[in-house]
Amino acid sequence: DTLGEALLNSWLGVNPNHIPTKPAIIYGESSIKQLSAAAKTIGKQLDAYTISDYAVEGAEQISKAKALEKIGNNDIGIVMTDNDMSKRDFDLRRRTVDLNIPLVLNGRLAARLAEAFAEADKYKEVREMKEYY
């Protein structure tokens, strides 16, 4: 097993986690390099958005209000950000969690997950938990 395969199996073993099929919102302040890498990787397969006040490279900039709207309309498959921004983005995090959208709060993990999602088809044995029931 590779790190990517192990990470993907761990990710899929927790409900509601899944391999995203809808666009991602990726933003932050302190893990810019890792979050930008995640945005660029995810952006090869899906639309990737970033919030203009906390923008990362590799994603289309949108306003915080537009991000909240997209999350509220269930148009987003995953949100990735830093862990130290809760005073500035509590409303985004709250809406994400309330709607059962996966939320990643670590830039390094976001970058590794993005790589694992991109390579998921290489792991023939990786299945979402609901496929076993």
- Domain architecture of the chain: domains with CATH: 3-14+24-121 (3.40.50.1380)
Per-residue pLDDT in tens (0 to 9) along the chain, 133 residues: 588 888 998 998 888 889 999 999 999 998 999 999 999 999 999 999 999 999 999 999 999 999 999 999 999 999 999 877 878 999 999 999 999 999 999 999 999 999 999 998 887 665 566 665 6
| pTM, entire model | 0.89
Q: pLDDT tens-digit profile of 109-128?
A: 999 999 999 998 887 665 56
Specify the residue for token string 């306003």: 63
Cα–Cα distance measured from residue 115 to residue 71, given in angstroms and rounded to the nearest whole number:
23
